[in-house]
Amino acid sequence: MDSNLYTRRIRVRGTVQGVGFRPFVYVIAVSEGLKGTVLNDGEGVEIILQGTKEQQEVFDRRLKKELPPLASVDSLDEAVVEYPVFSSFRIIESRSSAVKTTIPADAAVCKDCLAELVDPSNRRYRYPFINCTHCGPRYTITAHIPYDRPQTSMKDFPMCSLCHKEYTDPLDRRFHAQPNACWNCGPQLALKDKDGNLIETDDPIAETFKLIKKGAIGAIKGLGGFHLVCDALNSQTVRELRKRKNRPSKPFAIMTANAKSAKRFLVIDQEAKNLLESSAAPIVLCPKKDRTDELLDGIAPDLSTIGLMLPYTPIHWLLFFEAVNRQPHYPLASEEVPLYLVMTSANAGGEPLVINNKEAEEQLQGIADFYLEHNRNILIRCDDSVIRSDLSEPTKIIRRARGYVPKVTKLPRKVPSCIATGSWLKNTACVSKEDSAILSQHIGDLDRVSNCTTLSEAIEHLIETFDIHPSIIACDFHPDFFSTRLAEDLADKYGAKLFPVQHHHAHIASVMAQHGLEEPVLGVALDGVGLGTDGTSWGGEILLVDPSGFLRLSHFKPVALPGGDKCAKEGWRIAAAFLAKHGNRNLARELFPNRNVQMIFHLIDSNFPIPQSSSLGRLFDMAAALLRVKDFSTYEGEAPVLLEYAAKNKNGRFLREMVKRENGILNLDEFLLHLAQRQDTAEAAADFHTTIASAIAEELIEQSTKAGITKICFSGGCCLNNLMIRQIKNALKHQKLKIYESTEVPCNDGGLSLGQLWVAGMANVIEKE
């Protein structure tokens, strides 16, 4: 061997499979005159590189600077090794080994594929499943790692000679693009009527477009499940969809071809545009313009924002292509397109997202007028991700699913292999592999058997896919949750230690895990409900948290919840009980003439034990009822959202004299009684937000001074209230405090499993130290 040559083995871990990483390495290596091999295995990508020092240094620089769009590198290890002289650089077959890599997330159609899709001269012109190494389905079609075609639902579609040639050419954009296919060999569409009978048509896309424009409601199969779709400008159809889905006021998301098209209705700032056009293509909540509710009647009533997404599958793009009469090479991604679609998850009343054709025809009967199906199986249910973008606040993920799963959260240190089963609402699961935490897709609320089954399946898929051998099973502190019982079963199955974690402790730990915090912090946990260590319901807490545990420092004075969990939707119950307790029964009768307040009075008078809660979420529900904003919510969080909307154009006041802070308890009784007497709803709503925010800030300053802690972590569903959070931060801005929030995972219960995993993992590390 030439003495100037030396050989390195380079181990690359991260999202490096199914993203064009091997051909990327091949092109650099060949162009720089290097020899060797590159392959996929369970750990990621292994590169054997032979060349001079100068060649290898150039390779390293280019590797870091020119990564493919969907690739990300978590770690890169190298060692000089002895190897015979290579004659060339080759891509070789994948090799099985212990799994330390991850599957890429599903990715929106890239610009190159979109250009081909609308090019009449291209052989994939209008092909509904066009993709390449830079885009298309990944996680939702994958059963196992390594990410190769036989491990995906594309194994049912043998490639034709032309597709195979692309697939095996290292210089082709479709080299080892596992879903690679075309009209001749790939998946196909089928259009069916409301009864599941095949509609004879040569062009399912064109027929679908015609049906939508005529006012029909369709079920369209996508990447992670079906959508219910209709014309967003047809208010009559939108009302019919609400009626059929029994969804009286919960907002719908809409899809437009591009940001320019959406600007007719919505304010799209640069951050929102970047999110919308990213490969993840989430739903982004964007502010309405003045005439939005008139133009999009019934889409998001009484709210200040609408959820917007852009097309992310070829099927979506083809519908918009129809809207411009198939003008060749029309710039669909940048020029206005006259089509505005409702796109909402296709499920019936809280059931899991529908993913297969038969399931759709059975569960959506009576809702959908037609079905646009295809024969590529969806292996993993994965709903659309939802993000709240606000230039004045960090981007907040509300629902983490398609496009973001299974992206890894890097932990600040290695922890034992762990499975965390999450909570009751907005459930997710999480698994750990050394210093990586992998959060599942959004599962939903565990109030029905189907969602419980989906959680069990999601955990088994994570275990099998990432080769997890758990020594710890973490779960919520509440013994009656399905997720807790599942954790008990998993602990028995794997001979693992069961580790219950208090709900709000887990909320704060999720922020610590994301930001790599191991020192003591003050945690502000603000949500609807979580079982406390004293057996009562918590939800408005200031905690001292460190790796060894937590201490409850402060909380809101508990309020009575007559009817228990019913109060999450029926804020009038909390308000009536509060007024009765303080001698204001006539006001309760006046505020809630159509509610059974007498039943509440009877409970108070009989001294029947009524659950108590320190939850800020329940205080918001009560305030919304007292201020005549909303006393009965038709979907979770409706009353607090409307209360925030009511306050948005007013400057609130801090009514400090009406708030009592004693021994760590924030007593708002006098303030809430005052609010009930107010006539100007908007001003009262603004005062409520400002007073709550300022009281929390003052308590934080006091507790920070006492404990000598300057790092503050915010978590819990109430932290999605930007008005309140912004005011808390403003009240703290002159203090020497560092604020941390959830950005990579939801601050609501969707991020709880990450916190459970971090608490359990750190406890094990401390125990061994």
Residues annotated as catalytic are 22, 40
Helix (H, G, I), strand (E, B) or coil at 724: helix
270 Cβ neighbours under 8 A, 6+ residues apart: none
The answer to whether 474 and 428 have CB atoms below 8 angstroms apart is no
- Cβ-proximal residues to 669 (8 Å cutoff; 6+ apart), any chain: 557, 578, 582, 660
Dist. CA 560–CA 56, nearest whole Å: 69
Beta bridge partners of 523: 543, 713
Instruction: Retrieve residue 495's tokens.
Output: 């001979």
Per the CB < 8 A criterion, the answer to whether 669 and 582 are in contact is yes
DSSP string, 470-534: -SEEEEES-TTSHHHHHHHHHHHHHTPEEEEE-HHHHHHHHHHHHHT--S-EEEEEEEEEEE-TT
DSSP state of 718: G
User: Which string of DSSP letters, residue by residue, matches 740-760?
Assistant: EE-SSS-SSGGGHHHHHHHHH
* Separation in Å, CA 517 to CA 412, 520, 701, 711, 713: 8, 8, 20, 9, 10
Angle, to 10 degrees, between the axis of helix 597-605 and the axis of helix 571-581? Answer: 50
In the three-class reduction of DSSP (H, G, I as helix; E, B as strand; rest coil), residue 276 is classed as helix
Give the amino acid at 385. S
Residues paired with residue 522 on neighbouring β-strands, in sequence order = 544, 712
Q: What does the alpha-carbon distance between residue 458 and residue 382 come to, in Å, rounded to a whole number?
A: 10
Q: Are strands 370-374 and 408-410 parallel, antiparallel or unpaired?
A: unpaired
Burial 742-761, CB ≥16 within 10 A → b, else e: bebbbbbbbbbbbbbbbbbb
Q: How far apart are CA 106 and CA 374, in angstroms?
A: 17
3-state secondary structure of 696: helix
DSSP string for 129-186: T--BTTBB--GGGB-SSS--GGGBGGGGSPPPHHHHHHHT-TTSTTTT-TT---TTTS
CA 557 to chain CA centroid, nearest Å: 32
Q: How many secondary structure helices (H) and strands (E) does the chain include? A: 23, 30
By the 8 A CB rule, do 406 and 439 touch?
yes
Cβ neighbours for 534, distance < 8 A, ≥ 6 positions apart: none
Phi and psi at 355, nearest 5°, equal: -125, -20
Strand pairing partners for 229?
Answer: 218, 343
> How far apart are the two ends of the chain, measured CA to CA in Å?
48
Q: Could you tell me whether strands 226-231 and 218-221 are parallel, antiparallel, or unpaired per DSSP bridges?
A: antiparallel
